[in-house]
């Protein structure tokens, strides 16, 4: 935490929590927001100044679905490189998934991760813990011990929890511990060896397909368990219209469910896969144009609460194995804001206020981060400064150690100009 005062001057402050969309100055001190108002510079002659004229000034963005790969996958990413990528993308807080090697399934392993993050992370890192030991789907972890050690959520991310009875027990425990459960919805007996969407993509590329029902079957089961147990469940990376509609109906019934979508599923579909390029291999896969339209509509009407990247770095060596053998996943933090601006906000499919809600306020609410998601005085001094109209071309090199990005070479409109964490500038162009 810094004692220096930072004055962010003349930007359009967009903060749904304060019902604010107006040109203001933002003053940070002691790692917190001290004031938001007009002409604050007249009273702060010694404050460091960040000129935000022509830019949007937003509460620090929160990515509630990232893979930092440490331990066990440091050739693809580690805490230092992953959080540098987060800072470059405007994210001031990230939630790391537990499917590391070994998985994060004990309090001792969590303490090691927290220590590593405290020493090397550029942004605040929160961690999820596994629901089952070694992520094998058989024996429950000591969730109470993990909660006491500081996990921010529970997930089996990377795979679904197939045993419905065990899933019920997990949800009953997470309800008591007041932790969100993040569900990776995939029925493995349906997805099997599918590497692209079962449909036009699988036929065109002559590759095994993964049907939409592999996702929605598991999602509907977990909606039923959320109703049975009364436990909040957050659904990761929705990809198809049937899942969107299932979540919509669950919300209409008052069930405690929330959902997220990735920038790549919002912007791309199966027709955008240029060929057998593993940078377009992700799980769930890119689906049809109709599915993409449903995801966009669901994000706009609030059925989908959050944009989360599912940042999944893999080294070039691993991705060079080809579509059938390469691991699933694409990186996304450094392009997320620009992709959402280019494909939704600038096309009238999402307002700028909704962007802030879906990328800051909603993830803060779901994760119970009461000091984040707003620029109200007293909140954490986390700020993202965005130049909304700036055009740029996505390069082939990133702050991330990996470059498995489907947007390389694409021209995007909108760019993060600065990222401020706890009152300190951690990224600036």
Active site (catalytic) residues: 310
Q: Among 218, 200, 217, which residue's Cα sits nearest to residue 209?
A: 200
Element (H, E) at 420: strand 411-421
HEC sequence for 309-328: CCECCCCHHHHCCCCCCCCC
Tokens of residue 72, six digits = 């066990």
Q: Which strands form 233-235's sheet, in the order they lie side by side?
A: 61-66, 91-96, 124-129, 153-155, 181-183, 233-235, 257-261, 306-307
- State how far the Cα of 39 lies from the Cα of 170, in Å rounded to an integer: 52
CA dist 248 and 240 (Å) reads 13
Provide the b/e sequence for 284-301 (b: ≥16 CB within 10 Å).
bbbbbeebbebbbebbbe
Residue 169 half-sphere exposure, CB side, CA atoms within 13 Å? 15
| Phi then psi dihedrals of residue 79, to 5 deg | -60, -40
Q: Which has the closest alpha carbon to 232: 144, 160, 153, 307?
A: 153
CA distance 207 to 381: 48
Q: What share of the chain is helix, strand, coil (3-state, %, to 5)?
A: 35, 25, 40
Alpha helix positions (H), 230-287: 241-252, 263-267
Q: What are the tokens at 342?
A: 């280019």
How far is residue 45's CA from residue 43's CA, in Å, rounded to a whole number?
6
- Kind and range of the H or E element at 250? helix 241-252
For 405, which DSSP code?
Answer: -
């Amino acid at each position: 935490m810094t004692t220096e005062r930072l004055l962010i001057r003349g930007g359009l402050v967009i903060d749904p929590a304060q019902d604010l969309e107006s040109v203001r100055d933002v003053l940070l001190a002691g790692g917190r927001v001290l004031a938001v108002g007009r002409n604050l510079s007249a009273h702060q002659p010694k404050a460091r100044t960040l000129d935000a004229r022509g830019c949007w000034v937003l509460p620090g963005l929160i990515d509630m679905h990232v893979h930092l790969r440490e331990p066990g996958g440091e050739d693809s990413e580690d805490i230092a490189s992953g959080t540098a990528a987060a800072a470059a993308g405007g994210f001031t807080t990230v939630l790391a998934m537990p499917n590391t090697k070994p998985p994060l399934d004990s309090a001792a392993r969590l303490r090691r991760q927290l220590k590593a993050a405290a020493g090397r992370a550029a942004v605040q890192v929160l961690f999820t813990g596994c629901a089952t030991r070694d992520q094998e789907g058989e024996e429950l972890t000591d969730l109470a011990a993990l909660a006491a050690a500081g996990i921010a959520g529970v997930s089996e991310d990377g795979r679904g929890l197939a045993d419905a009875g065990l899933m019920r027990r997990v949800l009953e425990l997470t309800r008591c511990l007041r932790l969100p459960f993040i569900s990776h919805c995939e029925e493995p007996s349906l997805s099997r060896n599918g590497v692209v969407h079962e449909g036009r993509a699988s036929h065109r590329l002559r590759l095994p397909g993964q049907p939409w029902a592999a996702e929605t079957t598991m999602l509907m089961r977990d909606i039923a368990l959320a109703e049975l147990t009364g436990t909040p469940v957050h659904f990761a990376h929705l990809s198809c219209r049937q899942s969107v509609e299932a979540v919509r109906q669950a919300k209409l019934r008052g069930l405690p469910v929330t959902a997220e979508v990735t920038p790549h599923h919002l912007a791309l579909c199966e027709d955008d896969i240029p060929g057998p390029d593993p940078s377009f291999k992700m799980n769930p896969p890119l689906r049809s144009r109709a599915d993409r339209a449903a995801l966009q509509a669901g994000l706009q009407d609030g059925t989908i609460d959050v944009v989360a990247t599912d940042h999944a770095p893999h080294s070039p060596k691993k991705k060079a194995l080809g579509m059938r053998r390469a691991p699933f996943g694409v990186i996304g933090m450094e392009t997320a804001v620009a992709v959402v601006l280019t494909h939704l906000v600038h096309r009238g499919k999402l307002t700028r206020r909704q962007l802030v809600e879906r990328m800051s306020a909603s993830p803060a609410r779901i994760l119970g981060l009461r000091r984040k998601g707003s620029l109200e005085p007293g909140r954490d001094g986390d700020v993202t400064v965005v130049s909304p109209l700036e055009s740029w071309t996505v390069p082939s090199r990133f702050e991330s150690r990996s470059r498995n990005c489907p947007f390389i070479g694409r021209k995007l409109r909108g760019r993060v100009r600065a990222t401020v964490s706890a009152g300190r500038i951690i990224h600036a162009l």
